[in-house]
C-alpha cells in the first residue's frame, strides 16, 4: 500500500513539473508574440497607408532566438492588393525583440511582387530547419 502511495505521489510530481515547464514556455511565447504582433500591425498599417494598398490579416509564421545577441525574431506575412485592381502580392514582416529588455529593436518589411507565391514567402519567413545561420549569428527555432 505504501508503494502505491509513493508511486502516485511521484507521478503527480512529475506531471506538475511538466505542466510548469509548459506554462513557462507558453508564457514566454505569448509575451513576445503580443509585443511583436502589435509592432507588425503598426508597420503594416503605415506601409499600406503610404502605398495605397489593402492588406489582409497578418498570419504568424515563426519565432527564432539568437543566443549570442539574446534577441528574438518573430515573423509574420500577409497578402495585399492595390485598391484599384486585384493582385496577389505578399509582405513579410520580421520583428526583432531584445531578450534583455523585451523591447522592439528593429522591424524588417519585405515586399514580394506578382512573381512570388505564398509558399515562397512562407519559406523565407519560416525555414524548416531548427537552426539557421546568417550574418547576425545562429538562430534557433523557439516554436
- Give the tens place of pLDDT for each residue, 2-49: 777 888 888 888 887 777 666 665 555 566 778 888 888 888 888 877
Distance CA 105, CA 71 (A): 9
Distance CA 133, CA 139 (A): 6
Give the pLDDT confidence of 75-107 residue by residue, as tens digits: 898 888 766 667 778 888 999 988 777 788 888
DSSP 85: S
Residue 12: partners with Cβ closer than 8 Å, 6 or more residues away: none
pLDDT value at 63 more than 80? yes
Number of domains in the chain: 1
Strands 137-141 and 89-98: unpaired
pLDDT at 143: 65
Residues spanned by the domain of 77:
2-141
Distance CA 72, CA 99 (A): 7
Residue 43 dihedral angles phi and psi, to the nearest 5°: -65, -45
Distance CA 7, CA 31 (A): 36
Amino acid at each position: 500500500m505504501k508503494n502505491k502511495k509513493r508511486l502516485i505521489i511521484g507521478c503527480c510530481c512529475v506531471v506538475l513539473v511538466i505542466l510548469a515547464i509548459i506554462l513557462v514556455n507558453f508564457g514566454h511565447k505569448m509575451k513576445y508574440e503580443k509585443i511583436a504582433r502589435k509592432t507588425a500591425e503598426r508597420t503594416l498599417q503605415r506601409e499600406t497607408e503610404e502605398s495605397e494598398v489593402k492588406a489582409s490579416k497578418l498570419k504568424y509564421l515563426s519565432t527564432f532566438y539568437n543566443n549570442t545577441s539574446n534577441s528574438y525574431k518573430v515573423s509574420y506575412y500577409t497578402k495585399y492588393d492595390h485598391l484599384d485592381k486585384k493582385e496577389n502580392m505578399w509582405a513579410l514582416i520580421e520583428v526583432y525583440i531584445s531578450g534583455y529588455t523585451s523591447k522592439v529593436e528593429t522591424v524588417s518589411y519585405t515586399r514580394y511582387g506578382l512573381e512570388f507565391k505564398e509558399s515562397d514567402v512562407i519559406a523565407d519567413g519560416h525555414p524548416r530547419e531548427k537552426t539557421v545561420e546568417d550574418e547576425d549569428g545562429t538562430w534557433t527555432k523557439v516554436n
